[in-house]
C-alpha cells in the first residue's frame, strides 16, 4: 500500500477544471512543504510539473497549480485539454523515512 493516498482515476470534460488530491499524514504533507507532482504518459519518464507544493518549473503550463491544506495536497488543472490525459503522481518528504509516493491517478479527458 502506498504511503500517500491518491484516487486511482479521475475524469473530466474538455475545458473543465479539476482537482487531484494526495493525502498523507502530519509526518509528511502536513508538516513539510516538500510536495511535488509529476505527469507521466504511458511508456515515458515522469515530468515535474509542481515542486515545493506551489512552484511551477519553467516551461510548465500555467493551467497547472498546486496547493495544500492540512495533510492533503492538491493539483489543480484549469481548462482541461486532451494532452492532459496522463498519470499524475505525488511525492512528499516524510520524516525518518525519506521520500514517499502515492500510487498515482489516471486522468481521463472526456
Partner 1 sequence: EVHLLESGGGFVQSGGSQRLSCAASGFMFRNYAINWIRQAPGKGLEWVSGISGTGTETFYADSLRGRFTISRDNFEDTVFLQMHSLTSDDTAVYYCAKERESSSRGAFDSWGPGTLVTVSS
What residues line the site for partner 1 (CB under 8 A)?
2, 32, 34-36, 38, 40, 45-48, 51-52, 57, 89, 91-93, 97-104
CB of 46 to partner 1, least distance (A): 6
CB of 86 to partner 1, least distance (A): 13
CB of 92 to partner 1, least distance (A): 7
CA angle, 81 then 61 then 37, to 5°:
95
CA-to-CA dists, residue 22 to 12, 13, 110, angstroms: 18, 21, 22
Amino acid at each position: 500500500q502506498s504511503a500517500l493516498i491518491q484516487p486511482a482515476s479521475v475524469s473530466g470534460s474538455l475545458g473543465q477544471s479539476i482537482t487531484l488530491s494526495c493525502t498523507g499524514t502530519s509526518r509528511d504533507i502536513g508538516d513539510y512543504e516538500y510536495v511535488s507532482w509529476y505527469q507521466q504518459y504511458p511508456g515515458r519518464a515522469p515530468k515535474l510539473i509542481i515542486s515545493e507544493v506551489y512552484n511551477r518549473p519553467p516551461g510548465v503550463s500555467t493551467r497547472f497549480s498546486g496547493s495544500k491544506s492540512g495533510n492533503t495536497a492538491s493539483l489543480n488543472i484549469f481548462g482541461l485539454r486532451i494532452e492532459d490525459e496522463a498519470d499524475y503522481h505525488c511525492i512528499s518528504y516524510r520524516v525518518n523515512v525519506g521520500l514517499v509516493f502515492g500510487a498515482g491517478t489516471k486522468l481521463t479527458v472526456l
